[in-house]
Amino acid sequence: MPFHNALLNFMKGAKETTSAANTTAFGILLALSLAHMLNDIMQSTISSVYPILKDGMGLSFGQIGLITLVYQLSASVFQPVFGFYLDKRPNPWFLPAGMFATMTGLLILAFAPSLNFALAAVLFAGIGSSILHPEASRLTSMASGGKRGMAQSVFQVGGSAGFSFGPLFAAIIISPYGQRNIAFASLIAFVAVIGLIPVCRWYSKKLKELREEASKPQAVKHSLLPKKTIIFTIGILLVLIFTKYVYIASISSYYTFFLIEKFKVSVEHSQIFLFAFLFSSAMGTLLGGPLGDKFGRRYVIWFSILGAAPFALLMPHANLFWTCALSMGIGFIISSAFPAILVYGQELLPLKLGLVSGLFFGLAFGIAGIASAVLGKIADANGIEYVYNMCSFMPLLGIVAYFLPRVRTLQAASKTVYEK
C-alpha cells in the first residue's frame, strides 16, 4: 500500500533534516479549528433550543431525548464510515459538503411544525458533523508537524468553544424571538465554507505530493505492538469515552431543565449557565493535548476523568452559585481527556487516522445520544434531580485508565523496513 506508506512517513516526519516545529502548519490548524468552532456553534444550537421546541410542539422529555438520539446516531454511525472511506479515497472538498448538510438541517428545524420534521432536521445536521469530524481530525494530524497532541487540542478547542457559544447564541438571537430565528444559525455555514477554502487547497497540494512519494521506496515503521494489546487498549479507551460522554450528556441535554426546575431561573439565564459550563470545557480541551505531549497521554487521561469525580458528586447538592462553579470545574477537568484519548488511539493505528477519529468521535456522539434518550425517560418518571444524582457517580469509572499500557514504551520496540 504505497500511498498509505507515504502518508505514514509524512505524518511521522520521516525527513530527518526537517524539524517538527518547522513543519507544523499553524495556519491550517487555525483554519480547521475555526471551521470546527463554527460547525459546533450550529450543532449546539440544536440542544440549546430544546425548551423552545418543547413548548412550541408540546413535546415530552422522552421526545426531547428522541430528537437527541436521532441527531447523535446520525452524527455517530456515519463517522467511522466516512473516516474509513476517506482514508482510502481522500477528497479535499468533503469538508464544505458537510457544512452544507448542517445548514440544510438548521433551515428545516427553523420551520419544523412537528416532531417528525424536527427529526429530519437533526438527521441532516448529524450527517454534516459525521463528515467534518473524522476528516478534519485527520488533516489536523497531517498539519501537526509531529506535535499531535498540541494540534488536536487546537482543533478540539475550536469545537468546544463553538459548542459553548451555541447556548449564548440561542439566548441572544433565538429564545427572545422564537423558533424561526434558528435560520440565522445556518448563515454561519457560509463563513465556515470560506474558512475551509485554503484548507482544501493545502490538502489538494499535499495529496499530490503524497501520490508522488508513493512511487518511491518508502522507509516505514511497523509497530510490534501485539494485536491483543491494541484491542485491549482500544477497549479501555472506549470505556473511558463511555464514562465521559454519558456524564456530559446529562449536562448538555438537561442542564437547562435542571436549573429551571430546581432554582426557578429563566430559560435565557439557564442558557447562560450552560454557556459557562461549555466554555470551561473548551479551556480544558486546550490544555489536554499539550500536557499529553509533555507528560504522557496516559496520565492526562487518568487525571481528567477520575479527577472530575469529587466535583460531580457534590454538584447535585449545591446551591445555584456552587452548581455553576462546580459545573465549570467539571467541564474544565473532564474535557482535557478527549484530545489525549484520540491521539493515543491514533498512535496505536497510525495508518487508519480517519477510521480511528470517526470511531472515537462517532462513539462519543452515539453514546451521548443513547444516554440522552434513556436519561429523558428516567427524568419523565423520576424527575431531573434524580438523573443528576444518578449520573454523579459516572466519573468514578475513570479508574479503568489505570490499565492503559504505556504506548510510548511499547512502540519504542519497532522495526523499519523499505517497501515499494
Question: Is the pLDDT reported for residue 221 higher than 60?
Answer: no
Rounded Cα gap, residues 31 and 38, in angstroms: 11
For residue 341, the SS3 value is: helix
**Cell numbers found for residue 353:** 487516522
- Single-letter amino acid, residue 14: A
Taking the alpha carbons at both ends of the chain, their separation in whole angstroms is: 8
Q: Is 420 strand, coil or helix? A: coil
CA distances from 360 to 77, 204, 356 (A): 11, 26, 6
Q: What angle do CA 276, 332, 65 make, to 5 degrees?
A: 65
pLDDT at 311: 93
146 in any annotated domain:
yes
352 φ, ψ (degrees, to nearest 5): -130, 50
Report phi then psi at 223, rounded to 5.
-70, 140
The stretch 46-53 carries a mean pLDDT of 82
- SS3 percent helix, strand, coil of the chain, rounded to 5, is 80, 5, 15
Q: How far apart are CA 194 and CA 192, in angstroms?
A: 5
Say yes or no to pLDDT of 359 above 80.
Answer: no
The rounded Cα 327 to chain-centroid distance in angstroms is 19
Specify the 3-state DSSP secondary structure of 176.
Answer: coil
Question: What residue type is 124 in one-letter code?
Answer: F
The per-residue pLDDT for 418 is 33
Is 19 among the domain residues? Answer: no
Sorted by sequence, the CB contacts under 8 Å of residue 190 that are 6+ apart come out as 103
Residue 280 falls within a domain, yes or no?
yes
Asked if 9 and 351 count as a contact pair (C-beta separation under 8 A), the reply is: no
25 and 231 Cβ atoms separated by less than 8 Å: no
Residue linked to cell 426557578: 264
**The three cell numbers locating residue 360:** 472515537
Residue 191 has pLDDT above 80, yes or no: yes
- Dist. CA 61–CA 73, nearest whole Å: 18
CB 400 within 8 Å of CB 240: yes
State the CATH number of the domain containing residue 102.
1.20.1250.20
Q: Which residues of 362-399 are buried (b: 16+ CB within 10 A; e: fewer)?
A: bbbbbbbbbbbbbbbbbbeeeebeebbeebbebbebbe
Q: Give the residue-averaged pLDDT of 369-391.
A: 84
Kindly state the DSSP code that residue 417 receives in the 8-state scheme.
E
- Taking the C-alpha atoms of residue 296 and residue 308, their distance in angstroms, rounded to an integer, is 19
Q: Reply yes or no on whether the pLDDT at 45 is more than 70.
A: yes
pTM above 0.85, yes or no: no
Q: Which residues contact 91 (CB under 8 A, 6 or more apart)?
A: none
Amino acid identity of residue 419, one-letter, is E
* Rounded distance between C-alpha atoms, residue 207 and residue 191, angstroms: 25
Q: Quickly state the pLDDT bin for 322 (edges 50, 70, 90).
A: very high
Beta-carbon contacts of residue 234 (< 8 Å; ≥ 6 apart): 345, 348
In terms of pLDDT, which residue wins out, 26 or 322? 322
Tens digits of per-residue pLDDT, 13-33?
A: 433 333 444 477 888 888 898
Q: Residue range 104-125: average pLDDT?
A: 89
**How confident is the model at residue 206, as a pLDDT?**
83
Percent of the chain with pLDDT over 70: 87
Assess contact for 188 and 45: CB atoms under 8 A: no
> How far is it, in rounded angstroms, from Cα 161 to Cα 167?
11
Q: How many CB atoms lie within 10 A of CB 55?
A: 11
Question: How many structural domains comprise the chain?
Answer: 1
Q: Tell me if 355 is assigned to some domain.
A: yes
Q: How many CA atoms lie within 13 A of 118 on its CB side?
A: 24
Domain that holds residue 237: 2-14+24-419
What are the distances in angstroms from CA 2 to CA 84, 95, 152?
A: 17, 25, 26
